Amino acid sequence: MQASAAALALFEHLGAACSIEATTRNIADIDHYGGLLPPATEVTIPWLPGAPFHHTLSVAQRLRHCGFVPVPHIAARRLDSQASAASWIAQLVAEAAVDRVILVAGDAERRVGPWDSALQVIESGLLQAGGITRIGIGGYPEGHPKVEQAVLDRALTDKVQAAARTGLDVQIVSQFCFEGSTIVRWLRSLRATGIDASIRIGLAGPANVRSLLAYATRCGIGPSVRAVWSGPVSLRDLLSRHGPDQVLLDVAQALLAEPALGPVGLHVYPFGGFKASADWIARLRAGALADAVA
């Protein structure tokens, strides 16, 4: 069946509004990204455990040099002082033209400096004073393994409201999930509570099942994993490649039927390698999945 004009427009939008994470520790690898994704693609930079700040700065500089938009992660509990945090942000802005960050609490059980949460950093004015104009905050379509749902919902609402109140544009960037219906329910619940912020839906890029299961375990992904891989998994299954096509198609069907669930973009976690995920994004931008939702 030929794709409808609405389906083609949706996939063109999702492909254009798609960010991706840089997972490399070897900064030189970034030089190979240029031919894989269009200029001005947003590339997020995780704050890797044990990595010093200058690594994040070097990655951001290299991404900017290659024509991308660098979006570093800032982890509230890992910021050791107001002065050092302000200095880091000043360097990111001055030397890599950074104007947006992903703001998270961080996985550390205890803070090392003045902030325990992303909300406290928003309210401190640190980012705004340093020249940051937009933040991404975390969303969890299937909940968080360590935080009750009511607490999670309240924290998300508080951060969205605090960002608006303090002059920051805010975007919700979700954890990856392996079940489209779970994501759709989450989108509906957010919109029902009055949250109208733009949302980037997290998708696990193409990777073998073994890698995906390992990342899911590390990130606390549970229900959607059991829904997709509930039976015995053979060695052949573990080594086979699995992409986000079906998850995205399920979400796309809902977006076509319920436009009020938007605005929505995508964020890809390249668990199977940056090139594999970049190639998948290129397929999406070319409308290769559109026929399935016609």
Bridging pattern class, strands 198-204 and 100-104: unpaired
Dist CA 112 CA 134 (whole Å): 25
Sign of CA dihedral 124, 127, 129, 132: negative
Mention every residue, 6+ apart, whose C-beta is less than 8 A from residue 218: none
Q: What is the pLDDT of residues 182-214, one digit of tens each?
A: 999 999 999 999 999 999 999 999 988 777 777
Note the pLDDT of residue 49: 74
Whether the bond between 270 and the residue before it is cis, its omega within 30 degrees of 0, is: no
DSSP 8-class letter at 50: T
At 286 the pLDDT is 84
Report the predicted TM-score, pTM, of the whole model to 2 decimal places.
0.91
Give the pLDDT confidence score for residue 238 in this predicted structure: 44
110-160: per-residue pLDDT in tens? 898 999 999 999 999 999 999 999 999 999 999 887 888 899 999 999 999
Q: Which helix (H) or strand (E) holds 269?
A: strand 264-269
Could you tell me the pLDDT band of residue 84, with boundaries at 50, 70 and 90?
very high
Confidence bin at 227 (pLDDT 50/70/90): low
Crossing angle for the helix pair 5-16 and 245-257, to the nearest 10 degrees: 120
Alpha-helix runs per DSSP H in the chain: 5-16, 53-65, 82-96, 118-124, 126-130, 149-165, 180-192, 209-219, 223-228, 235-239, 245-257, 274-285
Domains and CATH numbers, the chain: 5-288 (3.20.20.220)
Round to whole Å and give the CA distance between 209 and 240.
Answer: 6
Return d(Cα 244, Cα 281) in angstroms, integer.
11
Residue with tokens 């052949």: 236
Per-residue model confidence as pLDDT tens digits over 94-109: 999 999 999 999 877 7
139 contacts 175 by C-beta, under 8 angstroms = yes
What percentage of the chain carries pLDDT values higher than 90? 60
Residue-level pLDDT at 235: 43
CA distances in angstroms from 232 to 204, 206, 228, 236, listed in the order given = 21, 21, 11, 11
- State percent of the chain over pLDDT 70: 90
